[in-house]
Amino acid sequence: MNNRILAIAAIVFVAAFLRLIPHAPNFSPIGAIALFGGAYLNRKYLAYLIPFAALLISDVFLGFYGLGMLVTYGAFAVSIFIGTQLKKNITWYNVALSSLASSVSFFLITNLVFFYPTSISPLYTHDLAGVLNCYAAGLPYFQNTFASDLFYSSLFFGAFYLLNINIPALQIEKSKA
């Protein structure tokens, strides 16, 4: 592994550790980890492997959560994919737009778990009103998800930008870009 991959992996794993620190509901670095790993890890398998490994390790300490975990990991994969598209043109504006796209996709995907519960007694009616009620109930969590994605993405992308400027060994050679 080269210094660049090690630096990116270190940021991802330190960020995953932040999930273990008490925080507001849904204010965690999950989306930013996915975007950052997807955007900066040039080998596609590493772009998925390193963020997923960090998420899984933090879930070992937080606890596993059944079907919700599979859905969360699926939404996480979508955010990594958004990050892989971001790598083509990383600017502050595109990072902000990608954070929004990641937050919205995560919200839409993960709320389906609550709409289709595995219990006998559903939380919501299985009609349009039930879907709307489910998403309306999730809006307070969405605002925290978006705020955290934007905050942590700014932090990770900004920190790596500064590291790139100050540590030439982290820069990609133009012939490899």
Tell me whether residue 109 is in a domain. yes
| Closest residue by Cα to residue 38 from 57, 22, 52 | 52
In the numeric block, which tokens belong to residue 30?
């999950």
Give me the pLDDT at residue 117, please.
62
pTM of the model: 0.87
Range of the domain at 116: 3-169
Q: Output the DSSP codes for 63-88.
A: ---HHHHHHHHHHHHHHHHHHHHHTT
The per-residue pLDDT string of the chain (177 residues; one tens digit each, 9 = 90 and over) reads 588 888 999 999 999 999 989 989 889 999 999 999 999 998 999 999 999 999 999 999 998 887 778 888 999 999 999 999 999 899 999 999 999 999 999 999 988 776 666 555 577 877 888 888 889 988 999 999 999 999 999 999 999 999 989 988 887 754 344
Give me the pLDDT at residue 176, please.
46
Query: Nearest-5° angle of CA 102, CA 103, CA 107?
Result: 115
Q: Count the domains in the chain.
A: 1
Tell me 119's DSSP state. S
Tell me whether residue 175 is in a domain. no
CB atoms within 10 A of CB 79: 27
Q: In Å, how far from its chain's centre is CA 172?
A: 24
Tell me whether residue 14 is in a domain. yes
